[in-house]
Structure 1
Amino acid sequence: MNRKVSFIWRLETATRFCKMLSHAWLLLLCVAVGVASASAQSTKGSILGRVSDSSDAVIPAASVELQNQGTGAVLQATTDSRGDYTFSTIDPGTYTVIVKHEGFEEAAARGIVLDVAQTIRQNIVMKIGTATEVLEITSASPVITTDSPEISTVIDSRQIENTPLDGRDTIYGLLALAPGVQRSTSNPLVAGSSFQGGTSATVDGISQNDIFNARIAGPVPSFDGIAQFTVIGSAAPARFGRAGSQVLIVTKAGGNQFHGSAFEFNRNRYLSGAGYFPLNPRPHFNRNEFGGSFGGPIIRNKLFFWATVEDLRLVQSKAIPTTQPSPEMLTGDLGPISNYLGITQMVNPNTGAQLPKDAAGLCCQVPDSAISPISKYLLGFFPKPNGGILGSGPQGCYYPTNLAPNCAAGQVGSSSITDFIYGSPTYQKNFRWSLRGDYQFSPKDHFSLRYYQVNGGPYVGPDLANAAPLFGNYSGTGTLSKNVVFNYTRIVSANIVNEFVAGYNQEHDPRESQNPQINPGALVPGVPNAPAGYGGLPTVGIYGLSGIADASSNYFNAQHIYQFNDNVTFVHGRHSMAAGAQYLRQRSGQGGSYPGSFTFVGCFSAQTCTAGAAGATENKNVAYAFADFLMGNMFTSQTQNKNNLFDATGSSYGLYVQDNWLATPRLTLNLGLRYEKTFPFGRTRGGLANFYPAMNGGAGAEVYISGQEDPNLVAAYPQPYIVNGDTVGINYNNYYKTQNLNFGPHVGFALRMNDKGTLVMRGGYALIYNYFPPFINGLGNSPPFIKATTYQQPSGTGGTNTPQLTWANPFNSTSSTGGPSVSAVEPRPKQPYNQQMNLSVEWEFIHNTALRVSYVGNLGTHLADPYPLNNPVPQPLATGLTNVQTIRPYQPWGTISYEQFNTSTNFNQFQAAIRRRFTDLTLSMDFQWSKGLGVDAFNDGGVTNPLNIRQDYGNLDYYSRLYYVFSHIYQLPVGKGKRLLRHAGTITDAVVGGWRVSGVLTLYDGLPMSASFTSIGTLGNYPSGRPNIVPGVPQILKGGSPAKTPMINIAAFCIPGECPSDGAVMNSSGQYTCPSGSTTCPNTTTEFTYGNEQRNSMYGPGFANYDASLQKEFHIERRYTFQLRLDAFNALNRTNFATPANRSISNNVAFGESTSQQGNARELQLGGRLTF
């Protein structure tokens, strides 16, 4: 141990050095390395303090006893020469501290509430006297902590039970209570954490994360089995790793008294309000949640249990507007819509003849003999229109009203109204149960074992694409979640405690389409056959209509996580040191069917597929497009050689040391160092391939590791294009190499600025290495295992009006648009990391009421960028070329998604918070003012211009600038023993006493957004992306409703290089320019350029919501309490419009308008709870 150890690492902005570790730290690090145990998310805490007399002189060698008031467990300690004592690695709960010393009265501080992962200071002042006298010290859970540097918030069981929670079935309902959290979803945003993978969750110290998707897993035990949870927003101690923000959940444990509960909550459509986009009639809605809990002693002071059970039954519909064909169109009669659009003739491209007129003499009728048998089968999946006006009774405009400036007499239309309002059904069943046992084997040995299981489904839910009934939904045979944790805590000596935790987490999620009985391989030639039970309709897109499809989430997914943690705590003088080692191994299997994708644009029946620069994409029309669909003539098609299947494994471990050092009586320093190591993902089924650009003389090569490769693909792309990894020494261990020097310092301080500990300054810094994003799936679904191919009708100059892609031959090899797409990861990726920093001042200015102001910063470095490696430079195609494949830099490949780690973000936030904890009133007010900038390509959907990534630097997609949350629980001071009517009799008290009101108010401004445009022609590789800004024109329109008038001004943007009539011609230099030499778009003179709009320069609609609860408690005898309650979610029935879905200036249909709302209309919930 004589050799000095130095750890050196280089940060993005400067070189930083880690100072030499003390000998004690080196010893603890060796202990940690020797433990056979990736994030030691211990939920245990500490109680410490100083013992002194009334003159403030410290009392050394005093005997200190810590009693758990629930279980009776007792711990012993002795004050040191400075009068300090520490109890570490203890469970959350309520405690009593008893201090004895000769010549002094015995002192007892009772009711000390220790929260999750909290450090509480309980100083004791003793009085001179005899040992037979007892000095009682009033204590309570502190409103501020005085010895921790991190910013954290604890939500206890009282708040969980008495606050209106919009959903009790997942962790997201809990997160809605936590101040500082923006968006309570699987990727919650806490103090600048990255959108994906930036937050980690644990239950009783074991991971509750979906590792392969870099997010939190939703299922948790019944809320009646959760004691409390805490959210650490910034600069967590070194024992926490893998994410910048931590969500820690602790389940309830039994005690020496029996306790329990039973509850029922119900919401239904008769108690709910109508939304802005209502269904007519009102859709079915019924939500029942019921269950209970029970716990207590098996052997008093020794063995305890706690059990919960809960069930959810939900039937719900959501209003989703769609555009569907009219009943006449479904019979092949296109006369009314063609006449309305001024179409006088159509061609049957299969025969070259004009289509006949319909019975009314209008153009045109597609004869039954001309309708493709596959199209005829698919017609049965289109719903019939149920009204052109949202919520109106009579039939509205049958036709897509965005094409109609006026409707018939008595009808009303606008660009935002569609002709089918879909009540998307959701059927959900969620049954949960849990059981926890705690055994105090001896005063030094404590065991706990907890298991919970969640059975979800069968269920049916709406697809994210908001498709219509009979299609576009998924159903499930039932999700299954299991979580088990074993904890053994051993008091090795008076100053050494060891905690060992082992756990297993399983998530099984099979999702089927709503039509699993349909085998797409038997329906469409060339589509792979689906596994039994995983079939579905192909995706059919028809210009001007919503189309039909089964959900893309047609798959099965199983994930298994094994975790082992060991934490050692060593108290020595003013140092409370800890070290730990963790090991985590995960395995995930996923697969599903691929039903094929087909689009119809109308250029065949219109005979415009050869129309030069305008091309098929500029003469699309709903009537022509539906005619093409009926006759089975598609413009593009896509398929792959076989269905997806992969089974991947991964592992990681972490080591840490930290020291909580009481440097002075008022200053506590937290010094820590954490090491992370992540190993490459491997596969046990299906194989894996990675693309290496430097191989093959810089031309690149796809290297595969033997699995279930397709020999036809290996033969079609021989070396040097596809290379067997065995021949070049590439295998699962080295196909990419992870970093080794992942050392992250964690430093912080807490300064008690007055003697009472009511004014505290705290701050901290932490460098935290994050998870790699889930790129493994793409590596397994690339050649030579999976090949997805897109085919397109030759169009424009040199094209043809004769269909090349039909239902009979949808994948004509002569029409392939390019080479196979591949996914890849750079061979030496940098590990993503965040640097977090915070500085806070917290002041308890009134007893039990505290104000906190904080600065929080977060720098994200080496973030993932799915770089489009093989995108060609935007340019016109040479004469005779029909697609862009020939100008891609890496041949024969199509698109290449190349995962590299070179983007960054910076986040700054001001926080102001007020907390009040009192018997009758608990309130919390949190305000955030945030600014998040950077290039987060993985979470923001990729980069616009691959040649200039910094052009995408701008506001982050997912943070609101201003965010405010106010929550309250108020026991009205009326009734027996209260301030008002304190002497009320039993009957009077039963009526006027026991009332409580609670609520949560949430306000925030809109999320950032950008405008966009799509390629304006088929001249070549024309870029899509953000448009040009028109100087001097406001981008946001003031006034009006976002759902009735556009909030984005389409006149403020233009397509770079667009000619007044899109009549670009090629000049002698091969550039396409406008004939007049000028364009309608400022700042551009040629086409094939990117726009100059800054990413996310606008903000969408804001959000305001108030959830309220009114509760009445009846006390039955002494131990029983019955609560009757009414909860109102969105109590004011406020419509919060969503960000406009269509922001493409290439499509003026409902441009800049909000066509949906955030959240639901008002829902009332009746509930009852019995507790004892």
Structure 2
Amino acid sequence: MKKSHIAAVLCWAVCASGVALAQEFRGSILGRITDASSAVVPGAAVVVTNEETNVSVETRTNQEGSYNVPYLPPGRYRISVSAPGFRTAEQRGILVQINDRIELNLTLEVGSTTESVVIKAESPMLQTASVDLGQVADRTILEPMLLTTSVLNLANMAPGVLGSTTLGFGGTMGNAQNNIAVNGGGGTQTGNDVTVDGSPALAPRQSGLAVGVPMSDAVQEFKIVTTMFDASLGRSNGGAISITTKAGTNEYHGSGFYYTQNTALNANSWTNKRVGIPRPEVDLYAAGGTIGGPVRLPKYDGHNRTFFFFAYERNRNSNHAAGLAFVPTAAMRQGDFSGVLAQAGAPLALYDPLSTVVSAAGSFVSRSPFPNAVIPTNRLNPTGVAVIDKLPSPNVDVKPQINRPNWTADMLFPQITTNWSVRIDQAAGSKHRLFGRVAAPNYNQAPSPAYFPGAYSVPPNGTSNLNTDTRRHRAVTLDDTVLFSPSLVGSFRVGYTRVWTYNYMEGDKQNPADLKLPAAITSQQIAPAWPIFEIGADGAPFIGSRPRKSVNDIWSFMNNFTRLAGGHNLRFGVDYRVTRWNENNPGTQANGHFVFNNTLTRSNPTQSSTGNVSGSAMASLLLGLPATASNRGIGYTSPLTLQVHYGGFFFQDDWKATRKLTLNLGLRYEIETPPTERFDRLLYGFDPDLDLGITVPGLGRLHGGVQFVNDRGIGRRQGELDKNNFGPRFGVAFSPGRNLAIRGGYGIFYSSNVNNIGTPTTDGAFGALTQYVGSTGGDTLPIPGVSISNPFPNGYVQPTGKSLGAATDLGSTVTYVYPRRVLPYIQQWQVSLQKQFRGQLLGEAAYVGTHSVKLFEDFNLNELQDSLLSNTSNVPNPFLGILPPASSLGQGSTVRATQLTRRFPHFTNVNEQRDNTGRVLYHSLQMRAQKRFSRGLQLVANYTFSKSMQYLQYSAVNVRKWRTVSPLDYPHMFNLFLTYQLPVGRGQALGHNWNRTLDAIAGGWTLAFITHYQSGDALTVTDTNGTPIPIADPATPGGVKDRLGDRLDPVTKLPLNPYFKRDVWIRIPNFAVSPEPPRWSWLRGPSQWTQTATMSKTIRISERFKADFRMQAQSPFNHVVFNNPTTNLASPATFGVITASRGSGTRTVTFGAKLRF
């Protein structure tokens, strides 16, 4: 579509409807007013008033007696209806929740308007005005269940939702919703739309990170919509998550809290106990508070008009972990390894790499040892000595042995999160209701203390938590709701979100001169810092640097119009968003990255088993001889400055066709531009027919090359504009009476590409990597003169930009995004039955199905045909002297014969990402029961029985097209959320007349319980040559604890009680292709069953002040939730062995207190 056409569409939408909202968080009260004879009453005055703020909205019924009061913030309302000749009717305590459409039909009695009739009725739970499925969590649920954690952890309150299995501890900074999948989720867990007070809250390219999510005490309600037949909802893989924040009221209310965990009551994990690691120390706390009410200033009283709400929270989570590493002794630092044992336990032998003898064909013949495993002083490399001297000294009294820890540290990783927000609400006359909100979460993590200068990785945790990670999130929302007339209401909103991240390692703060680095390294660094020196092959820690910085912004411009026309409630509008992502992630090679292993110093570099008795990574470091390894050297990845535009246009007609029948009819159109990069540093795609003008003997003219954006007639977008994204929605709700509702619907909605924008760039064009090549034959023969002191004797690879055009990356691998990709879409349908019972109890049963279409897959267009896999012969290299000499195919006298049979023989791989070839089909029975809080009891329970099948092509060259269960297939899921206030204390059934002292001791107890069950993961069994073929059921009998693989045969040392049988598999021979799918529905890991229990004691200090004392236990019974077993058949010692438990099965206990007023 031309830019002028897009502008015309946008202009039309804005003129016709205003700019509207993708997900409205407020509710509506609507209905029909009749008299005793069932005749409609036109012109009746309808006043809806918030019972806490006393802010009212007035409207009138139309000629059909219909009224609609939209954009009501969640809360309790009263409605008053009056008309000449009739008594005034009033109903109170009407509960409006997120995105509710409450149908309330009232009958007026003949009489004077000065007379009133108060209607006593429960707020309806049946959904008779819409067909969306979902679940709301209001304060009656959030208050007793959440201490200090994100409300997103309650997503599985709705059936069909795969979510968090525990509540966790801590703030709301890391709100990755990558564990939430709705109705199969299209096979992914990151595509749900999340809004806070109606504004988008998802950061791009961060696995669905939700930004600006408020602390739990600042949340008024949380809702997850699992089927979306309302055209105002969209841009999702399956679910829409809406969070609305608390607002101030006419009375001042607030809270202050402090929560902490106690090491003594926490349990040690099964994983730690299995290997003898003690229970970790706990240093966790959360503190904060809230306050809200009317704004009062000199000469201004905000009662009934202006309200504020402020919230602040600070969390500290100091993780402890044991650092266990093998570090050099004083003798080793001088090159003396004579007292060191090899990994196998024998005295270590070191071999001189410069003594290597090879045959005329280049095959290894022999090496000579260093006498007594001592490296001569004149062979010690100054950089290697400087690096090894930066490692800590042993503090464990054991004989030095390769890969046996002789150093330990209590590694402390303090993580501090703060989160503050402020909201202002204003009722400006009878026409405008405004609110604004600002939120500012912050996060900082730093290793404390630095265990040694420049620490980059420490076993067994690797690089985890050794970085300094600073994040700043900002979120702003402004909204104005305007009453144009009794039949036309609009809501105008602007939102802004910023995510700022800076991440660096300890080595980024160090002086490179301390390591005596050569100018060949320091002259090419992006900043003065220590390179990464990787010596983990000995079980040693290593040092290094890696800076990363990113800033992204999301602007959203929205408003939503509602018009009442007869029995039609019309809504229409546009949702417009601009996403900008700025990233500078130069990679691990930015300041140099070198790996050292034992290959160059062991007796035989071609036999890995010799490394058990000879060779050392530290010895290679002292010699100054890094290994020749992929992606090791010096260079950088290009920065990115990306932008994506999105527009969603919708029209919705909620038609009250009869008193018992409502039709929801809608259409949504979405358009999302492919990303642009500010400096056009992107590949556009790959042209398979492009003539490169290069002739290769035996192959002829070469065809196929890369294309750049904004080059040779191609536009600036990274792909073509997908214009065919129409999403019809249809729903029907039928209420035959007797508190029964029958509902059904069908809709199409589209996913988003925003998490994948700008992937990938081309390192060879806009970045560069000069690879370290110090040996040949797989680290067999060192190249004379090449070492860490002279790492790049042939110079450096420089970025080429677009100068090479289609010849970029010739002889190497090219990776690009398929330019004709389209937005994946999901077809969704449901048929459901709702029944409301006495006691505010609702039951629901639904059949829900989804069909996710055009899902993304990645292919290698240069994949070999299966019939050629067995051909390992070499032929003379026809590309020598033609393709770039630094490329893989441009060097060497021979190449594999099969290389010449590939579709594009002049490339090693041609990786095409995001082809629209996948699909997922999901069917389910979903059942839900909900009891609103009454008589001290509240309950939400759900059960889902489902099947999720995945259909993928897997290959663009060979026939695969396996039909298999989705990785998110869980046949059974059950969740229970229960809150019960014990009927004990003043005013209760037991202790009704107790005095305050006795009530403070024995009354005011509340119990909350959450339990979650889900089937085990569908497993994939792997082997050297692909998935083996099962010839019988591999499952072993007994419970999981009887099948852990923890008992070994004393002779074979193989597990006697594995999770799988070992003798029921046919292994795939070399060069063959397995006919088996990647996973089976009948082979599953252990199921997950988790519990969380909370006990609260409330003491009434005065009429306004209450104190709560709380204890929350996650996994109170310390029920072990086992992880999946090892499934690699090629590793017989660990196949079928369960080596770890999930953290959700380890008991943790949190204590705290809260003061409320």
Please state which band the TM-score falls in when normalised by the shorter chain: 0.7 to 0.9
Task: Identify the range of structure 1 (461-470 vs 366-375) with the bigger mean alpha-carbon deviation.
Answer: 461-470
Q: Is the aligned partner of 1:502 residue 2:488? A: no
Q: What residue is the counterpart of 2:226 in the other structure?
A: 233
Aligned-pair distance for 1:204? 0.9
Correspondence for 1:751 among 728, 734, 743:
734
Q: What residue is the counterpart of 1:908 in the other structure?
A: 923
CA contact (8 A) 1:924 1:967 kept: yes
Aligned-pair distance for 1:43? 1.2
Q: The residue matched to 1:143 in structure 2 has which SS? A: coil
Aligned-pair distance for 1:183? 2.9
Aligned-pair distance for 1:887? 6.3
Q: Residues 320, 118 of structure 1: CA spacing in aligned structure 2 closer, same or farther, 3 A cutoff? A: farther
Aligned-pair distance for 1:544? 7.5
Q: The residue matched to 1:783 in structure 2 has which SS? A: helix
What is the CA–CA distance in structure 2 between the aligned matches of 1:378 and 1:1043, rounded to whole Å?
A: 41
Q: Is the aligned partner of 1:492 residue 2:478? A: no
Q: Is the aligned partner of 1:1120 residue 2:1105? A: yes
Q: What residue is the counterpart of 1:1031 in the other structure?
A: 1031
Question: For residues 822-868 of structure 1, what are the alpha-carbon distances to aligned partners after superposition, in whole Å with 9 as ceiling and x for unaligned?
Answer: 33122221221111222221222343112222222221111122322
Q: Residues 94, 882 of structure 1: CA spacing in aligned structure 2 closer, same or farther, 3 A cutoff? A: same
CA contact (8 A) 2:532 2:544 kept: yes
CA contact (8 A) 2:342 2:612 kept: no
1:29-178 to structure 2, matched below 5 A, reads 32=14, 34=16, 37=19, 40-52=22-34, 59-80=41-62, 83-165=65-147, 167-168=148-149, 170=150, 172-175=152-155
CA contact (8 A) 1:671 1:748 kept: yes
Q: Residues 376, 487 of structure 1: CA spacing in aligned structure 2 closer, same or farther, 3 A cutoff? A: same
Q: What residue is the counterpart of 2:806 in the other structure?
A: none
What is the CA–CA distance in structure 1 between the aligned matches of 2:127 and 2:391, rounded to whole Å?
A: 61
Q: What residue is the counterpart of 1:289 in the other structure?
A: 286
Correspondence for 1:997 among 1002, 1007, 1022:
1007
Aligned-pair distance for 1:385? 8.6
Aligned-pair distance for 1:1118? 1.4
What is the CA–CA distance in structure 2 between the aligned matches of 1:696 and 1:373, rounded to whole Å?
A: 51
1:634-713 to structure 2, matched below 5 A, reads 634-638=627-631, 639=633, 641-685=635-679, 687-697=681-691
Correspondence for 2:939 among 923, 927, 938:
923
Aligned-pair distance for 1:872? 4.0
Q: The residue matched to 1:687 in structure 2 has which SS? A: coil
What is the CA–CA distance in structure 1 between the aligned matches of 2:1094 and 2:480, rounded to whole Å?
A: 40
Letter in 1 for 2:184: G
Aligned-pair distance for 1:450? 1.1
Letter in 1 for 2:130: S
What is the CA–CA distance in structure 2 between the aligned matches of 1:1111 and 1:799, rounded to whole Å?
A: 64
Correspondence for 2:1092 among 1107, 1115, 1123:
1107
Question: For residues 1033-1070 of structure 1, what are the alpha-carbon distances to aligned partners after superposition, in whole Å with 9 as ceiling and x for unaligned?
Answer: 6166755353736655483587xxxxxxxxxxxxxxxx
Q: What residue is the counterpart of 1:1006 in the other structure?
A: 1016
Q: The residue matched to 1:1009 in structure 2 has which SS? A: coil
Aligned-pair distance for 1:961? 2.9
CA contact (8 A) 2:76 2:95 kept: yes
Q: The residue matched to 2:1062 in structure 1 has which SS? A: helix
RMSD, aligned α-carbons: 4.0
1:684-833 to structure 2, matched below 5 A, reads 684-685=678-679, 687-697=681-691, 728-733=712-717, 735-754=718-737, 756=738, 758-772=739-753, 774-788=755-769, 800-802=780-782, 806-808=787-789, 819-833=811-825
Q: The residue matched to 2:508 in structure 1 has which SS? A: coil
Letter in 1 for 2:355: T
Q: Residues 173, 1083 of structure 1: CA spacing in aligned structure 2 closer, same or farther, 3 A cutoff? A: closer
Aligned-pair distance for 1:97? 0.9
Aligned-pair distance for 1:970? 0.7
Q: Is the aligned partner of 1:1145 residue 2:1129? A: yes
Question: For residues 884-914 of structure 1, what are the alpha-carbon distances to aligned partners after superposition, in whole Å with 9 as ceiling and x for unaligned?
Answer: 8766543554444312222111222222221
What is the CA–CA distance in structure 2 between the aligned matches of 1:399 and 1:1092, rounded to whole Å?
A: 42
Correspondence for 1:1096 among 1079, 1084, 1103:
1079
Q: The residue matched to 2:355 in structure 1 has which SS? A: coil
Q: The residue matched to 2:507 in structure 1 has which SS? A: coil
Task: Identify the range of structure 1 (498-507 vs 247-256) with the bigger mean alpha-carbon deviation.
Answer: 247-256
Q: Residues 545, 964 of structure 1: CA spacing in aligned structure 2 closer, same or farther, 3 A cutoff? A: farther
CA contact (8 A) 2:344 2:613 kept: no
Q: What residue is the counterpart of 2:831 in the other structure?
A: 839
Question: For residues 708-729 of structure 1, what are the alpha-carbon distances to aligned partners after superposition, in whole Å with 9 as ceiling and x for unaligned?
Answer: xxxxxxxxxx999677766621
Q: Residues 172, 93 of structure 1: CA spacing in aligned structure 2 closer, same or farther, 3 A cutoff? A: closer
Q: What residue is the counterpart of 1:1051 in the other structure?
A: 1062
Q: The residue matched to 2:1072 in structure 1 has which SS? A: coil
Q: Residues 464, 1032 of structure 1: CA spacing in aligned structure 2 closer, same or farther, 3 A cutoff? A: farther
Q: What residue is the counterpart of 1:1171 in the other structure?
A: 1156
What is the CA–CA distance in structure 2 between the aligned matches of 1:205 and 1:441, rounded to whole Å?
A: 20
Question: For residues 611-642 of structure 1, what are the alpha-carbon distances to aligned partners after superposition, in whole Å with 9 as ceiling and x for unaligned?
Answer: xxxx5567664743545566435252424532
Question: For residues 888-946 of structure 1, what are the alpha-carbon distances to aligned partners after superposition, in whole Å with 9 as ceiling and x for unaligned?
Answer: 54355444431222211122222222111123111111222232221579xxxxx5x55
What is the CA–CA distance in structure 1 between the aligned matches of 2:348 and 2:313, rounded to whole Å?
A: 63
Aligned-pair distance for 1:1127? 1.3
What is the CA–CA distance in structure 2 between the aligned matches of 1:464 and 1:1151, rounded to whole Å?
A: 32
Q: The residue matched to 1:1099 in structure 2 has which SS? A: coil
Q: What residue is the counterpart of 2:161 in the other structure?
A: 181
Q: What residue is the counterpart of 1:1134 in the other structure?
A: 1119
CA contact (8 A) 2:57 2:430 kept: yes
Q: Percent identity?
A: 24
What is the CA–CA distance in structure 1 between the aligned matches of 2:70 and 2:120, rounded to whole Å?
A: 22
Aligned-pair distance for 1:473? 3.4
Q: Residues 366, 142 of structure 1: CA spacing in aligned structure 2 closer, same or farther, 3 A cutoff? A: farther
What is the CA–CA distance in structure 1 between the aligned matches of 2:407 and 2:1016, rounded to whole Å?
A: 29
Q: What residue is the counterpart of 1:954 in the other structure?
A: 964
Size of the alignment, in residue pairs? 1046
What is the CA–CA distance in structure 1 between the aligned matches of 2:1098 and 2:789, rounded to whole Å?
A: 70
What is the CA–CA distance in structure 2 between the aligned matches of 1:333 and 1:275, rounded to whole Å?
A: 38
What is the CA–CA distance in structure 2 between the aligned matches of 1:599 and 1:142, rounded to whole Å?
A: 67
Letter in 1 for 2:615: Y
Letter in 2 for 1:1159: G
Q: The residue matched to 2:1016 in structure 1 has which SS? A: coil
Task: Identify the range of structure 1 (290-299 vs 1156-1165) with the bigger mean alpha-carbon deviation.
Answer: 1156-1165
Aligned-pair distance for 1:560? 0.4
Q: The residue matched to 2:1109 in structure 1 has which SS? A: strand
Task: Identify the range of structure 1 (952-961 vs 719-728) with the bigger mean alpha-carbon deviation.
Answer: 719-728
Question: For residues 465-489 of structure 1, what are the alpha-carbon distances to aligned partners after superposition, in whole Å with 9 as ceiling and x for unaligned?
Answer: 9954795534335311111111111
Correspondence for 2:429 among 442, 446, 452:
442
Q: State TM-score, norm by structure 2.
A: 0.82
What is the CA–CA distance in structure 2 between the aligned matches of 1:1050 and 1:918, rounded to whole Å?
A: 50
What is the CA–CA distance in structure 1 between the aligned matches of 2:895 and 2:977, rounded to whole Å?
A: 61
Question: For residues 232-285 of structure 1, what are the alpha-carbon distances to aligned partners after superposition, in whole Å with 9 as ceiling and x for unaligned?
Answer: 011241111110310001111112222111111112423422222347554332
Q: Residues 216, 688 of structure 1: CA spacing in aligned structure 2 closer, same or farther, 3 A cutoff? A: same
Q: The residue matched to 2:270 in structure 1 has which SS? A: coil
Aligned-pair distance for 1:670? 0.9
Aligned-pair distance for 1:368? 6.1
What is the CA–CA distance in structure 2 between the aligned matches of 1:95 and 1:893, rounded to whole Å?
A: 68
CA contact (8 A) 2:151 2:222 kept: no
Q: Residues 889, 748 of structure 1: CA spacing in aligned structure 2 closer, same or farther, 3 A cutoff? A: same
Q: Residues 516, 599 of structure 1: CA spacing in aligned structure 2 closer, same or farther, 3 A cutoff? A: closer
CA contact (8 A) 2:682 2:709 kept: no
